[in-house]
Amino acid sequence: MCGIVGYFGKKEAQPVLMEGLRRLEYRGYDSAGIATMEGDVIRITRSVGKVSELAALIKEGDQSNVGIAHTRWATHGKPTESNAHPHRSNDGKVAVVHNGIIENYKELKEMLQRSGATFVSETDTEVIAHLIRHELSSGINLVDATRTALVQLKGTYGIIVMSSEYPDYIVAARMGSPLILGVGDNEHYIASDASAILRYTRQMVYLDDGEIAVVGRGGFDIRTLGNKMVEKEIELIDAAEAEIQKMGYPHFMMKEMMEQPDVLLNSTRGRLDVENGMAILGGLRDVADRLRDIERVIIVGCGSAYYAGLVGEYMLEEYAGIPVEVELGSEFRYRKPIISKNTVVIAISQSGETADTLAAVREAKEKGALTLGIVNAVGSTIARETDAGVYNHAGPEIGVASTKAFVSQMTVLALFTLFLGRQRSMSLVTGQRIAKEILELPDKVKEILIQQDKIGDIGLRYKDVAHAYFLGRKYCNPIAMEGALKLKEISYIHAEGYAAGEMKHGPIALIEDGFPVIVLAPKDSVYDKSMSNLEEIRARGGRVIMVTTEGCEIDRNLVDDVIFIPKTLEMLTPILAVIPLQLLAYFVTIEKGLDPDMPRNLAKSVTVE
Ligand code: AGP
């Protein structure tokens, strides 16, 4: 998701824009740029990499009070300086930043090239700069040129445009990508989300699709694409900045659970080639050849990240045919791991700052392993210290209990499995089937999230239990452990996750009347075995919540509650199976009057050993 910031006012624009970019880093990006306008000169600076690298390039002494800036997450064209925003017309008189995708950019590009425009990037956005310049050449002003250009676009945009021929204002417009106008005292801000400008103003105007804002010396006005003036209310954001990010949800955890369909879209956007059954992981480009020779995978993580790694172990062994072991960061660092140059160590970490996992990365590098990161926080230490990696693009995860990041971690591991598998013996057909099923996951997650009222009712009935077992086999074994972690870390109910086959080796001794057991039994290759677990538990009076695949015939004498999840590939089932467990833990917690976002004794990122 790209980030956009604009400013028109009395302060120096550059510091405002750079601070705004820093506030938007969480959205994930691979390059950044800024344009300021002084008199009839537009100065543009762009760089691949972090905002800090862009800052190092900017020349001192820029007195301009007008500017636009952007963090780019590549959709069309590689992360390069020439593809970074802002994009400009050939004469440099128009500059644009854009968030969204222009679907008809190719035909517009051809039309503009026929009219003499020269393109220097691979992006769809550059078309917008040339198109507005083209419209301006008919003698209309910047507002009208922007309007007449935008009506020719198909797709989505949140844009800010400025022109040295019209230095008294800038133009912003929204169609499908959020854009917000911050109202100051004789100064105005524009951003893709409030967090970029909250430090300057709490007076916000939310643009709606099809609206254009003209922001200049005299203030601002808002009109439709058809040039009809629109009265908009200035909304006062009076809650603390953190509250803003809850967007109306009661807790971050609920917001982040509900974001999971979008997170799956963002984690896979531009990374799946269904036709060729491949995963396109730009972050692994430089190590792709070395990965061909890899003979062993070690996955390292802590907590939920560790459980995601356990799911990855099943995926990679089954579909990439590579031996995998999964290690707790806190243990790996004390072992004498056998590592060769053909070992790849994958560090999974939402924060990218977990000390135990970071220590494992450093140990692995010391021993000559190739190190990769699956990290959510852009620019974090683990992301920087691993040789290469794949960002989750899950957005900031504020809730201490990991939900959307965990689901994203498993999804990225599925992409990685596709990447490695197709480097090896995975067939085109298998690759296509996996890629297609991954694309269907967001809608399937939605089918589970809409059951939240039913799951809330179940949570109400179990809120007073003192203990609980979570059982799963094969791909759902790690999910049993993750479900237990969710319940214990926010509701403080003692819960244990076990491989279901382990029950008869001791744990079943605890089953007595009313003992709650959550059994993960999707219709998969080990379904029949899981059914025998239900008999064992029932015979001893246990209470059963079963998570299974929709359409399965269930003997209601064996279970107290059933939660159905949609059918998908066995390797992707964990991504769906965890959702009901997240919701269950959440509802039990709030029924107990506890705060799921701030569980006692826990920190979001454990940066100490
Ligand atoms: C998960 O709900 C916990 N908050 C915790 O186990 C977390 O997964 C673990 O600390 C690892 O954090 P990381 O992903 O930021 O490295």
What's the confidence (pLDDT) of residue 235? 86
The number of CA neighbours under 13 Å toward the Cβ of 577 is 36
Residue 409 near ligand 1, beta carbon < 6 Å:
no
Residue 606 near ligand 1, beta carbon < 6 Å:
yes
Architecture label for domain 247-448: 3-Layer(aba) Sandwich (3.40)
Please give the share of the chain, as a percent, with pLDDT higher than 90: 79
Q: Where are the domains of the chain?
A: 2-243, 247-448, 452-591
What's the confidence (pLDDT) of residue 573? 98
Nearest alpha carbon to residue 474 among 566, 565, 573: 573
Nearest alpha carbon to residue 369 among 281, 282, 287, 301: 287
Confidence of residue 107 (pLDDT cuts 50, 70, 90): very high
Choose one of 256, 302, 346, 381 to mutate for the ligand 1 pocket test, by most ligand atoms within 8 angstroms of C-beta: 302
357 C-alpha vs ligand 1 centroid, how far in Å?
A: 10
489 C-alpha vs ligand 1 centroid, how far in Å?
A: 11
pLDDT in tens, 210-241: 999 999 988 999 999 999 999 999 988 765 55
Q: pLDDT at residue 244 above 80?
A: no
- Residues of 455-489 as b/e, b for ≥16 C-beta within 10 angstroms? bbebbeebbebeebbbbbbbbbbbbbbbbbbbbbb
| DSSP category for residue 86 | P
Distance in angstroms (rounded) separating the CA atoms of residues 100 and 173:
12
| Cβ–Cβ under 8 Å, residues 259 and 244 | no
| Cβ–Cβ under 8 Å, residues 302 and 382 | no
What's the confidence (pLDDT) of residue 27? 61
346 C-alpha vs ligand 1 centroid, how far in Å?
A: 16
1 C-alpha vs ligand 1 centroid, how far in Å?
A: 24
Task: Give the list of residues 6+ apart from residue 106 with CB closer than 8 angstroms, or none.
Answer: none
- Ligand 1: residue whose CA is nearest its atom 4: 401
| Cβ–Cβ under 8 Å, residues 348 and 301 | yes
Confidence of residue 73 (pLDDT cuts 50, 70, 90): confident
Choose one of 328, 402, 479 to mutate for the ligand 1 pocket test, by most ligand atoms within 8 angstroms of C-beta: 402
Paired sense of beta strands 467-472 and 494-499, if any: parallel
Q: Which of 117-126, 239-248, 251-260 has the lowest mean pLDDT?
A: 239-248
Distance in angstroms (rounded) separating the CA atoms of residues 51 and 44:
14
pLDDT in tens, 9-51: 999 999 999 999 988 876 667 899 999 998 889 999 999 988 9
Nearest alpha carbon to residue 584 among 606, 605, 565: 565
Distance in angstroms (rounded) separating the CA atoms of residues 356 and 332:
8
pLDDT in tens, 420-439: 999 999 999 999 999 999 99
| Cβ–Cβ under 8 Å, residues 261 and 443 | yes
Architecture label for domain 452-591: 3-Layer(aba) Sandwich (3.40)
pLDDT in tens, 175-208: 978 889 999 999 999 998 787 898 899 899 988 8
What's the confidence (pLDDT) of residue 8? 97
DSSP string, 279-339: E--GGGGGGHHHHHT--EEEEEE-HHHHHHHHHHHHHHHHHT---EEEEEHHHHTTS----
pLDDT in tens, 462-498: 999 999 999 999 999 999 999 999 999 999 999 999 9
Residue 358 near ligand 1, beta carbon < 6 Å:
no
The model's pTM is 0.68
Is 604 known to be catalytic?
yes
Kindly give the number of the ligand 1 atom that is closest to the alpha carbon of 409: 14
What's the confidence (pLDDT) of residue 28? 61
Task: Give the list of residues 6+ apart from residue 384 with CB closer than 8 angstroms, or none.
Answer: none
| Residue range 118-146: mean pLDDT, rounded | 97
Q: Indicate the length of the chain as a whole number.
A: 609
400 C-alpha vs ligand 1 centroid, how far in Å?
A: 8
| Cβ–Cβ under 8 Å, residues 254 and 404 | no
Per-chain mean pLDDT for the chain: 93
What's the confidence (pLDDT) of residue 42? 96
Distance in angstroms (rounded) separating the CA atoms of residues 567 and 185:
55
Task: Give the list of residues 6+ apart from residue 220 with CB closer than 8 angstroms, or none.
Answer: 181, 183, 188, 205, 213, 214
Confidence of residue 330 (pLDDT cuts 50, 70, 90): very high
Amino acid at residue number 113: Q
| Residue range 244-261: mean pLDDT, rounded | 86
570 or 555, greater pLDDT: 570
Is 2 known to be catalytic?
yes
| DSSP category for residue 101 | -
Q: What CATH number does the domain located at 2-243 have?
A: 3.60.20.10
Kindly give the number of the ligand 1 atom that is closest to the alpha carbon of 303: 6
| Long-range contacts (CB closer than 8 Å, 24 or more residues apart) made by 286-292 | 286/388, 287/370, 287/372, 287/387, 287/388, 288/423, 290/370, 291/344, 291/370, 291/419, 291/420, 291/423, 292/423
Residue 400 near ligand 1, beta carbon < 6 Å:
yes
Q: pLDDT at residue 403 above 80?
A: yes
Paired sense of beta strands 3-8 and 66-72, if any: antiparallel
- Ligand 1: residue whose CA is nearest its atom 7: 303
What's the confidence (pLDDT) of residue 596? 95
- Residues of 121-139 as b/e, b for ≥16 C-beta within 10 angstroms? bebbbbbbbbbbbbbbeee
Same fold, 2-243 and 247-448: no
What's the confidence (pLDDT) of residue 195? 77
Confidence of residue 134 (pLDDT cuts 50, 70, 90): very high
